[in-house]
Structure 1
Amino acid sequence: MKTNEQMKIRLPLDLKAFVAGQADRNRSTQNSEVVRAVRERMERTKETASESAATLAKA
């Protein structure tokens, strides 16, 4: 059973260099750094949505 999908992305050179640097610094792969960044964004988005819903419920 396949649990991961591949996706090609194009990054500006400065972002590519940043991801490569973070991967070296964290002794991880560039792929894992991109996944980490997207997951962090996903969590922030969920938190913001929850906070907005809570604010609306109080009104």
Structure 2
Amino acid sequence: MDSKIEFERQLVRLPRDAKDFIKREAERNCGSQNSEIVRSIRARMDGEKRDRAAG
């Protein structure tokens, strides 16, 4: 079984305050800005999954 994760490139335009937030969070977590964006999207995905299961 191939467990390789495939990635897609996506250009995202962010408001300045969102960009600043992502930058601060990446620095605080010693990670990249990309990882902060992915973390946020995953959290939203998990939340919606829980909402569907509960609803």
| TM-score normalised over the length of structure 1 | 0.84
Computing the radius of gyration from Cα coordinates, the structure with the larger value is 1
Identity of aligned residues (%): 38
Gaps of 5+ in 2: none
Which position in structure 2 is the counterpart of 1:56?
none
Answer yes or no: is 1:7 the counterpart of 2:10. Answer: yes
**Unaligned residue ranges in structure 1 (runs of 5+):** 53-59
Corresponding letter in the other structure for 1:21: R
The answer to whether structure 1 residue 33 and structure 2 residue 53 are counterparts is: no
Q: Which runs of 4+ in 1 moved over 2 A?
A: none
Distance 2:24 2:9 in 1: 22
Q: What is the Cα-based RMSD across aligned positions, in Å?
A: 1.3
Higher percent of residues as helix: 1
Shift of 1:2: 7.3
What is the number of residues matched between the two proteins? 52
